[in-house]
Amino acid sequence: MVARDRRLWGPFRTLEGMRMRPTLSWTSTEEPPPGTTDLEPVAEALRGGGVLVLSGAGISTESGIPDYRGEGGSLSRHTPMTYQDFTADAGARRRYWARSHLGWRTFGRARPNAGHRAVAAFGRQGLLAGVITQNVDGLHQAAGSQDVVDLHGRLDRVVCLSCGSFSPRRELAHRLEAANEGFAPVASSMNPDGDADLTDEQVGDFRVVPCAACGGVLKPDVVFFGEAVPPRRVEHCRTLVRGARTLLVLGSSLTVMSGLRFVRQAAGAGTPVLIVNRDATRGDRHAVTRIALPLGSALTAAAARLGVPVHADATAGPA
């Protein structure tokens, strides 16, 4: 995520040189396969081991972090920041950091829920081939999961787009507090990326602080909409998919290609794909089945069926 590796101050482009805009929504052009409430396919896959988990925003909703596209999802009221807008517009960066600074106070206190704890329990029992998460909240790790691939990065870390140095988000939060004493607007809602909804009037003249090392522009170490996931990270995930016996998708609509490509890869190789998501997803036609149940209770029930103990306690979130 260093400036020299990307065309930082121009529009985001693909490797082919074409401008790319983010996929924010998806509408099925065919009748989606019906969901089921039968957990046995998930339990059976876990019994066999080698399950690769791919999680999305839906696994964190029970921790108080909203999703993008589910019922009441944030995209119904909010257009997320794009990489192009963030890098090209100082005013957009000011609005982003004002909203993100406020949202971090809530986002950073989020705790793992039953779904995160169940995934960690499956990992402790040696049933998983790994965990890939599209979330930026760090809650899988807080629940005890090991070797998690943060596909879209982590919100608890900040990167300088000029010198490439990294720093903890908590340090930036302290610096922003000092630079914006008394900044405490009331947000109407919070979004999955920790971005609180504020009006331009509430943002006001919020002061953005530069990189402490070089004075450059700071960005959260996350992949924005319209930005490419680092190629090495993608290839690592592809390697995990190749080695998995089953791909288990938890709480993702699979609208964006960053996650859907792994479902297509698995299905193309004959690896069974199971999806636990209450709503239809863009990957349903590639799946053996979709279990339409709330994640926390479904995964806890699957753990009980397998006799896997799920720890009730967990550490705090990324803050």
277 assigned ligand-binding residue: no
67 assigned ligand-binding residue: yes
295 assigned ligand-binding residue: yes
135 assigned ligand-binding residue: yes
Measured between alpha carbons, how far is residue 29 from residues 6, 32, 159, 286, 309 in Å? 35, 9, 40, 15, 42
237 assigned ligand-binding residue: no
77 assigned ligand-binding residue: no
251 assigned ligand-binding residue: yes
211 assigned ligand-binding residue: yes
35 assigned ligand-binding residue: no
Residue 150 corresponds to which tokens in the numbers above? 């943060």
Catalytic site residue 152?
yes
The DSSP letter of residue 43 is H
**Helical segments of the chain, H only:** 40-48, 83-88, 90-107, 114-124, 139-143, 169-179, 200-203, 231-243, 257-268, 295-306
275 assigned ligand-binding residue: no
Catalytic residue, candidates 140, 152, 236, 286: 152
Could you give the count of Cα atoms lying within 13 Å of 91 in the half-sphere of its Cβ?
A: 2
What's the CA gap between 128 and 306, in Å, rounded?
14
Under a CB-based contact definition with an 8 Å cutoff, are residues 276 and 35 in contact?
no
What's the CA gap between 51 and 37, in Å, rounded?
20
151 assigned ligand-binding residue: no
Q: Return the closest-CA partner of residue 127 out of 55, 49, 53.
A: 49
71 assigned ligand-binding residue: yes
| Backbone torsions φ then ψ of 152, nearest 5 degrees | -105, 15
6 assigned ligand-binding residue: no
66 assigned ligand-binding residue: yes
The DSSP letter of residue 13 is B
H or E element at residue 52 = strand 51-55
160 assigned ligand-binding residue: yes
What's the CA gap between 134 and 137, in Å, rounded?
9
What residues act catalytically? Answer: 152
Per the annotation, binding residues for Zn(2+) are 160, 163, 211, 214
Per the annotation, binding residues for NAD(+) are 56-76, 134-137, 251-253, 295
Per the annotation, binding residues are 56-76, 134-137, 160, 163, 211, 214, 251-253, 295
